[in-house]
């Protein structure tokens, strides 16, 4: 198959990855109702087609948090993404840099912030959770800054990790340790391409950023134990104010679904927020991100940048999000599908797929620049 869309790369990723990795990328929490609505709710908004508008010089170029970008898209932080291809985060950030879009490295990446900076250069973003061990948290902020990161995405919608049934069934989490290891080994054996490229030649298989506290030989099982012990359910907005004082660069708070929380982020001094439900991986039954966006946009009234995450699968979705008040979108699963399917080139192709689709959607709605994308280009389904 010659892949042409995100769904095609998803199918290729499913063919090439061990089941436990694919299910981790692809799944959500509990019954996955929010995961499904994240995509389906975009279809509530039809685009208003316009003709004879002279759209010869359409451009997707924009600025995201003051940083120039070729299109309003950011590669979102995804945990253990680097296990989907050899030293995967390094390959992904290279693709993002060549495409001139931001890349954000996860706290729980396979490649450390230092490795990514050494092999791909500085300028990428970094993501962090509120960790019980404040000493580790402060040290991680310092490491990120020294590596050249100037934008921090702080994820706040994970005070406790949710249950993801697919991960239990695949052997990634839950159950006894020997059953998990047996299941994962068996799944890897039937994917020889991955076993050779990543399993053998992609070592070390540690979680680079937390290796100092887990040990260099720690793996996925040790990660789950560390995560259960160190995510902090006591976190409040006072803690976010402290992070604002510690971090000298741009601060973006990720995991906002309620207008009151958006106003609190603004009061804390955040430079931006990410309207997100963690890709449907936390509170099942929560609002889709696109449904939450209009009220949040109205609440902050242009006083900080809004990014939209969760459910974005096409360039048409980017246009919809911008029309509803976002300044850019973040994609997680799509770029990891591309990484699993084709490494750096696969990620580059995913980015170009979004860019091409967005340019067509802009041209056929009469927009030649991103700032022209307003609510006027949309028709809600209820009005049809």
Q: Which fold has domain 6-383?
A: TIM Barrel (3.20.20)
CB 236 within 8 A of CB 223: no
Q: Is 129 annotated as a binding residue?
A: yes
Q: Is 9 annotated as a binding residue?
A: no
Longest dimension (CA), the chain: 65
Q: Is 359 annotated as a binding residue?
A: no
> Which residues are designated catalytic?
278
CA distance 86 to 30: 31
Q: Is 113 annotated as a binding residue?
A: no
Single out the residue of 246, 341, 239, 236 nearest to residue 14, CA to CA: 341
Contacts of 136 (CB under 8 A, 6+ apart): 210, 213, 230
Q: Computed from CA positions of residues 375, 324, 105, 21, in that sequence, does the dihedral angle turn out positive or negative?
A: negative
User: Would you list the domain boundaries of the chain?
Assistant: 6-383
Q: Is 45 annotated as a binding residue?
A: no
Single out the residue of 181, 204, 167 nearest to residue 25, CA to CA: 167
Give tens-digit pLDDT for 242-277: 999 999 999 999 999 999 999 999 999 999 999 999
**Where would I find the beta strands (DSSP E) of 33-102?**
45-47, 62-64, 67-69, 73-75
Quick one: pLDDT at residue 364? 97
Q: Is 77 annotated as a binding residue?
A: yes
Q: Is 79 annotated as a binding residue?
A: yes
Quick one: pLDDT at residue 384? 36
Q: Is 56 annotated as a binding residue?
A: no
Ordered per-residue pLDDT tens for the chain, 384 residues: 899 999 999 999 999 999 999 999 999 999 999 999 999 999 999 999 999 999 999 999 999 999 999 999 999 999 999 999 999 999 999 999 999 999 999 999 999 999 999 999 999 999 999 888 888 899 999 999 999 999 999 999 998 889 999 999 999 887 788 888 889 989 989 999 999 999 999 888 778 888 777 766 666 777 767 777 778 889 999 999 999 999 999 999 999 999 999 999 999 999 999 999 999 999 999 999 999 999 999 999 999 999 999 999 999 999 999 999 999 999 999 999 999 999 999 999 999 999 999 999 999 999 999 999 999 999 977 533
Q: Is 309 annotated as a binding residue?
A: yes
CB 320 within 8 A of CB 45: yes
Q: Is 11 annotated as a binding residue?
A: no
CA distance 11 to 232: 36
Q: Is 63 annotated as a binding residue?
A: no
């Amino acid at each position: 198959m010659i892949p042409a869309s995100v769904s095609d790369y998803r199918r290729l990723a499913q063919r090439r990855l061990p089941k436990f990795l694919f299910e981790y990328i692809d799944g959500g929490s509990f019954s996955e109702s929010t995961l499904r609505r994240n995509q389906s709710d975009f279809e509530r908004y039809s685009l208003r087609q316009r003709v004879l508008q002279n759209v010869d010089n359409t451009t997707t170029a924009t600025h995201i948090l003051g940083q120039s970008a070729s299109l309003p898209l950011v590669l979102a932080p995804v945990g253990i993404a680097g296990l989907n291809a050899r030293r995967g985060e390094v390959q992904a950030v290279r693709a993002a840099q060549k495409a001139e879009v931001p890349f954000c490295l996860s706290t729980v990446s396979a490649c450390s912030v230092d490795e990514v900076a050494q092999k791909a250069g500085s300028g990428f973003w970094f993501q962090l959770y509120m960790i019980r061990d404040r000493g580790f948290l402060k040290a991680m902020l310092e490491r990120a800054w020294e590596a050249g990161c100037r934008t921090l995405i702080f994820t706040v919608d994970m005070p406790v990790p949710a249950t993801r049934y697919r991960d239990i069934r695949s052997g990634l989490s839950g159950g006894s340790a020997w059953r998990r290891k047996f299941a994962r080994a068996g799944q890897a054996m039937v994917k020889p391409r991955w076993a050779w490229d990543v399993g053998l030649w992609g070592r070390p298989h540690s979680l680079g950023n937390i290796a100092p506290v887990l040990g260099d030989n720690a793996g996925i099982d040790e990660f789950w134990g560390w995560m259960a012990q160190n995510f902090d359910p006591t976190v409040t907005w006072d803690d976010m104010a402290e992070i604002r004082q510690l971090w000298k660069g741009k601060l973006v708070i990720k995991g906002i679904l309620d207008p009151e929380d958006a106003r609190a982020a603004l009061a804390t001094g955040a430079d931006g927020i990410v309207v997100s439900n963690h890709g449907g991986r936390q509170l099942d039954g929560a609002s889709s991100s696109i449904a939450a966006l209009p009220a949040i946009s109205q609440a902050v009234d242009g006083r900080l940048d809004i990014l939209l995450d969760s459910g974005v699968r096409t360039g048409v979705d980017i246009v919809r999000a911008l029309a509803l008040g976002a300044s850019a979108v973040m994609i997680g699963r799509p770029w990891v599908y591309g990484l699993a399917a084709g490494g750096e080139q696969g990620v580059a192709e995913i980015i170009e797929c979004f860019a091409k689709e967005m340019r067509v959607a802009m041209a056929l709605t009469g927009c030649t620049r991103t700032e022209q994308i307003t609510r006027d280009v949309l028709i809600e389904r209820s009005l049809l």
